[in-house]
Amino acid sequence: MLTKRLALAALAPLALALGIGIALAKPVTFAPPPETSTLKQTDADGYLKTQNLCGVCHSRDYITTQPPGKGKDFWTAEVTKMVTVYGAPIVEADRPPIIDYLTANY
């Protein structure tokens, strides 16, 4: 019983400091830097899907600065990784047009 009281007494200052820290915390805002590139615009369905679905998480700069000419296997693996590992919201039907677009343009 005494051990519990001592433990609670030792934790009380920590709990108070944590509570004060939370009460004084201010929201953090972040403004991303402006985009410096654009995706190669095509009539392909994959262009809009890439712009809208990949652009949710990635800047266009990130997409356009990938090593050029990697091929379909590379882009298939990248899109699959984004979906399975990172939870990208890209349904199965949208993957082939994105992969084809990226393969043809980057």
Query: What global pTM score does this model have?
Result: 0.68
Superfamily the domain 45-105 falls into: Cytochrome c-like domain (1.10.760.10)
Share of the chain above pLDDT 70, in %: 84
pLDDT score, position 15 = 67
Distance from C-alpha of 50 to C-alpha of 99, rounded to nearest angstrom? 9
Q: Is 87 left (phi over 0), alpha (psi -120 to 50) or beta?
A: left
Q: What mean pLDDT comes out for the span 53-79?
A: 92
Residue 105 has pLDDT above 80, yes or no: yes
Domain ranges of the chain: 45-105
Distance from C-alpha of 50 to C-alpha of 39, rounded to nearest angstrom? 9
